[in-house]
Amino acid sequence: MDNLDIISKIIDYDSTILYNFLCVDKKLYKNLLNYISILCLLNNTKCKNKHLKLLKNIHTLILPQNQKITDKGLNYITNIHTLNLEHNNNINDIGLQYISNVHTLNLNNNYNITNNGLK
For the residues 52-57, what does the mean pLDDT come to? 86
pLDDT tens-digit map of 57-84 = 889 999 999 989 999 999 999 999 999 9
Q: Output the pTM of the full model.
A: 0.77
Confidence class for position 1, pLDDT limits 50, 70, 90: very low
66 touches 44 (CB < 8 A) = yes
pLDDT of residue 73: 96
